[in-house]
Structure 1
Amino acid sequence: MEIAEIMMKSAHIPMLGCEHALIAAGALLAAIKNSGEIKITDIQIAEALTRTRKQAIGAYCGLTGICGIAPAIGACFSVILGASCPKDKETATTMIVVSQVIEAIANQTGPCCCKNFVRTALTLSCKLVREYLKITLHCNGKLICSDSDRHPHGCRKEKCRYY
């Protein structure tokens, strides 16, 4: 989570946009790599980011119901597990992870907030990484959003767990 927060604050990242999907994927893979529990290569990171770019398309959250952050997390699990169409458990696990992430994000809409979605997805991903990959990431701590005044559609304020 710290990695994503640094990226969201240090770069010129708009309040809303598909850059957040790349942040989520990059932060999750960096955290897993930094844990040292499994080997994550630069090639794997590049592949997950390439897959994310193909599916994180502006406004698709409202048009199709899939926020690009969900397939970004899925790309991370897919690359790590080696999921592909002919495989069984690896592909099923990736799909289960994506379905849980999209459900968690859906529970945070009204209006959509990419920063909330990154935080929500990564908080859940910590649990999913522990459950499916047997890797422990540290994702504790209270986060307070400092971007509520920037939201173009109006912040959810008290309805947001990060407000």
Structure 2
Amino acid sequence: MGDRDKCMEGCMVCGRELVYAARPTAHTCVYCGRQEEAYLYCPAGHYVCDACHRQDAIEAIKQICLASDSRDPLFIADAVMDLPFVPMHGPEHHALVPAALVAAWANSLGLPKDGLVAEAIKRGGSVPGGVCGRYGACGAGIGVGVGVSVMLAATPMSGAEWGLANQVTAVALASIGRQGGPRCCKRTTRLALLAAMDFLRDRQGVTWSGEAPGKKACRHHRRNRQCQLAACPFYPA
């Protein structure tokens, strides 16, 4: 898995810092040729669509979530994020959050998880990149709502399940919002999963595993050009 020629920070083609535009413009993906309007692109003219950006990571998310017997979604998520071909930022994290949450939950209950993980990845993977700034709802926070929706088989017509899925999203987004920006997909992944773990422990009695979850020092801070440094709760002491 993975493409050694791809850059994992900034532009996937050349590594330059990306442009975050206020209005979309037309671009063509350098990998698949897809033509679409986008808010995010390289100043050198390169553009990578969401599908190509997350392609390698999605397969890794699936394999690790299915192979792991951990009951700690943070442990599972870290195993994916530590892979050298998983980008520092990007929409792959929107699929990672629900997949790791669902996998750890299924492991804790001894449930078959293949279909659950696949559905979590499918739904989370549909959340576009950059929604944290453009929509005011980080994809990692949305991801825990996706995960709980999959766990509880919630639909738009559900009662309590519908409510819980929306409540956990709100709790995660509140935690992410309090920390402030600029964005960091590693930080928001951890914050979202921590919020979801607390919520599901209190509301659903889910038993997670792991020692001091979320307190492990971040190993990605040197890769993040906009790292909050000591202001981030996961920055190494």
TM-score by length of 1: 0.90
- Cα deviation for residue 139 of structure 1 reads 4.3
Task: Give the corresponding residue for 1:6.
Answer: 79
> Is the 8 Å Cα contact of residues 103 and 113 (structure 2) preserved in structure 1?
no
| 2:228 pairs with 1:156 | yes
Percent of pairs with identical residues: 31
- Cα deviation for residue 131 of structure 1 reads 2.2
Which whole-Å CA distance do the structure 2 matches of 1:64 and 1:44 have between them? 27
Written as runs of structure 1 = structure 2, the 5 A alignment for 1:12-161 is 12-35=85-108, 37=109, 39-55=111-127, 57-141=128-212, 142-152=215-225, 154-161=226-233
> Is the 8 Å Cα contact of residues 25 and 76 (structure 1) preserved in structure 2?
yes
Residue type matched to 2:158 in 1? K
SS at match of 1:149: coil
Distance 1:134 1:40, change over 3 A: farther
- Cα deviation for residue 10 of structure 1 reads 2.1
| Structure 2 unpaired stretches of 5+ | 1-73
Decide which structure has greater strand share: 2
SS at match of 2:126: helix
Q: 1:103-133 CA deviation, whole Å, 9 max, x = no partner?
A: 1111222211110111111111211221233
Residue type matched to 1:97 in 2? V
- Cα deviation for residue 11 of structure 1 reads 4.5
> Is the 8 Å Cα contact of residues 32 and 40 (structure 1) preserved in structure 2?
no
Which whole-Å CA distance do the structure 2 matches of 1:121 and 1:161 have between them? 13
Residue type matched to 2:220 in 1? D
SS at match of 1:106: helix
| Structure 1 unpaired stretches of 5+ | none
SS at match of 1:87: coil
TM-score by length of 2: 0.64
Which whole-Å CA distance do the structure 2 matches of 1:75 and 1:155 have between them? 27
Decide which structure has greater helix share: 1
> Is the 8 Å Cα contact of residues 104 and 121 (structure 1) preserved in structure 2?
yes
* Structure ranking higher on relative contact order (CA contacts 8 Å, 6+ apart): 1
Structure 1 range deviating more: 2-11 or 138-147: 138-147
